Amino acid sequence: MSHVFHRHLQQQYPTAVGGDGPYLIDSEGHRYLDACGGAAVSCLGHSDAEVIEAIREQVGRLAYAHTSFFTNEPMEALADFLVERAPTGLSSVYFVSGGSEAVEAALKLARQYFIERGEPQRKHLIARRQSYHGNTLGALATGGNAWRRQQFEPLLVEVNHVSPCYAYRDQAPGETAEAYGERLAAELEAEIQSLGPENVMAFVAEPVVGATLGAVPSVPGYFTRVREICDRHGILLILDEVMCGMGRTGSLFAAEQEGVTPDLMTIAKGLGAGYQPIGATLVSDSIRQAIAEGSGFFQHGHTYIGHATACAAALAVQRAIEARDLLPRVVRLGEGLQQRLEARFGEHPYVGDIRGRGLFRGLELVADRSHKTPFDPSRKVHAAVKRTAMANGLMCYPMGGTLDGRQGDHILLAPPFILDESH
């Protein structure tokens, strides 16, 4: 018996022993094409020589220095790199070890910002249903995925949830995309009014929804309206780009394609591409300034924030993506992937929708295409697809449908940017 407390205690996992470009290799020599980057993580594949060398070099010089005593060179350089490329106004970066921590930091930064500004009554958070923002308690409370929250409800702080932007299921017949976006904006506005705009702290959303919906972008104009509403009421906009950021959708940040700048933006996964665990929260100038000129410090902190080796790895990953001009490739390969998926599965009786941006694509599986009826969740169709794919040497990221029939099972594809057409 394995003494590891595995993710699933009734499953056997193959042992991964090596990586070769976009492939993972198990201890029996089977090769798996990593078509989902694990969970949209491994954007440079599994054996990038430059990144490996950068890690080796950094560990040899300085592996780690606690940030309450020192800053370090890779952390400073990575912050410069990100801020130079981030939407204008995001001027500093708080480094953590992963996506959930990045979301927790964003929530606490938002709260502390309003305390520093003398608005302590602003404590309500609005997020969206069918969303996922991480598994730590604050992030889990923010997420609106009923299945993930269910048994931990008593431990979760109150968060108000509005509808996600999910055109395939929720745009009404005959309703234009613009009218649908407007309807969602009105719902957000109504929620804010019911809480009292002066009591609302932040609105949290993923620009392209990953784990819970399967690569679902919003309709054009939705985020512009969200930004306007937040601005009008002095509410912070937190965009969670943990999954969809760092080039995954074809631009470095998915928010660029929406034409909006958030006040706080969370990133992780593709930031370090799995070579080291790292995440970050990008912070607007006004939040940084309020805290700098107020108490002077963010009342937070983990042991591994700004980890030198993790920052060196992430810097090497991001430099490689830029030097190899991989983002135009993400756009081109992504369009090709969409076309091939449509050609192969567009008329498939069990595929209801094929969507996404860049190398971030989702297939929604349904029992009946014309009525968009999801499979009965107890059949665990997504798990069967994952098992079958693995048996055939392919990794894809599955997610189950919801019990209320509001979404079907889906398969998420988020392959490394280094693929070529042959893969």
Q: Which residues bind ligand PLP (CB under 6 A)?
A: 39, 98-100, 103, 132-134, 206, 210-211, 240, 242-243, 268, 279
Q: Which is nearer to ligand PLP, 278 or 316 (CB)?
A: 278
Least distance to ligand PLP, CB of residue 266, Å: 7
Closer by beta carbon to ligand PLP, 230 or else 268: 268
| Residue 136, CA distances (Å) to 8, 151, 160, 402, 410 in order | 18, 14, 18, 21, 24
Report helix, strand or coil for 83: helix
Q: Which two tokens stand for residue 166?
A: 């999910």
Shortest Cβ distance from residue 182 to ligand PLP (Å)?
A: 25
- Helix (H) or strand (E) segment spanning residue 223: helix 222-233
| Residue listed under structure tokens 């964003």 | 106
CB of 212 to ligand PLP, least distance (A): 8
Question: Of 290 and 399, which has the nearer Cβ to ligand PLP?
Answer: 399
Cβ burial of 340 (10 Å; 0-12, 13-18, 19+) is: exposed
CB of 206 to ligand PLP, least distance (A): 5
Characterise 415 by phi-psi region: left (phi > 0), alpha (psi -120 to 50), beta (else): beta
Nearer to ligand PLP by Cβ, of 127 and 201: the residue is 127
* Cβ closest to ligand PLP, residue 133 vs residue 382: 133
Specify the DSSP class assigned to residue 217.
Answer: E
Query: Which of 246, 247, 198, 255 has its CA nearest to residue 222?
Result: 255
Tokens representing 109 are 């930064």
Q: Which residue has the tokens 């909006």?
A: 260
* Minimal CB distance residue for ligand PLP: 99
Beta carbon of residue 352, minimum distance to ligand PLP (angstroms, whole number): 22
> Of 131 and 290, which CB lies nearer to ligand PLP in the complex structure?
131
* Cα radius of gyration rounded to whole Å, the chain: 21
**Shortest distance in whole angstroms from residue 55 CB to ligand PLP:** 19
What residues form DSSP beta bridges with 112? none
Residue placing its CB nearer to ligand PLP in the complex, 271 or 290: 271
The answer to whether the CB of 275 falls within 8 A of the CB of 318 is no
Least distance (Å) from ligand PLP to the CB of residue 312?
A: 19
Q: Which is nearer to ligand PLP, 132 or 375 (CB)?
A: 132
Backbone angles phi and psi of 302, in degrees to 5:
-120, 165
∠ at Cα 37 (126, 57), nearest 5°?
A: 105
- Supply the minimum distance, in Å, between the C-beta of residue 172 and ligand PLP: 27
